[in-house]
Amino acid sequence: MKYLLLLCSVLISLALANEYEREIKEALKLCQQSSGAPKDILSRNPESDDVPTLKDFLHCIFKGLNLFKPDSAVDSAKIEKMLPSDLTSEERNPIVTNCLSLRGANDADTSLDVYKCYKKYTNKVHFNLRR
């Protein structure tokens, strides 16, 4: 059986703190369906040819988890709480310092930029989701 790999952050790549796990799983399932993203979208290189689908998928997750403030900046305090607890300080600190303040031309670009930044500092997959 194939799995949808989840990352943070971002996000997204986002496997985040256990208290958010149910909410994240629901957002991932909904966003995979609505964006048409393949199950392995988060295990792919974020610089790949599938960037539009990845961007749509990540934007959906950010919106679904209310990770944007009214001014379209990411809610860094909320995201920081959702970061996986097993990140080392060598992974966590640069993510918090360098990634959570990024802003793109629009919310979708911001979602992708934060995810790409997160991937620079960790490639951990924190849990798998079955379809």
pLDDT 10s digits, 63-109: 999 999 999 899 999 988 888 878 889 999 999 999 999 999 999 99
pLDDT at position 50 is 67
What is the number of other CB atoms lying within 10 angstroms of the CB of residue 86?
Answer: 11
What is the number of other CB atoms lying within 10 angstroms of the CB of residue 84?
Answer: 22
The percentage of the chain sitting over the pLDDT mark of 70, rounded to a whole number, equals 78
More confident residue, 84 or 1: 84
- In order of 69, 110, 131, the CA distances from 115 in angstroms are 17, 8, 22
CATH number for the domain whose boundaries are 3-130: 1.10.238.20
Whether 48 has a pLDDT exceeding 80, the answer reads no
CA distance 85 to 31: 24
CA distance 131 to 124: 20
CA distance 120 to 33: 27
Domain positions in the chain: 3-130
Q: E strands within 1-131?
A: 3-6, 8-9, 12-13, 127-130
Amino acid at 40: D
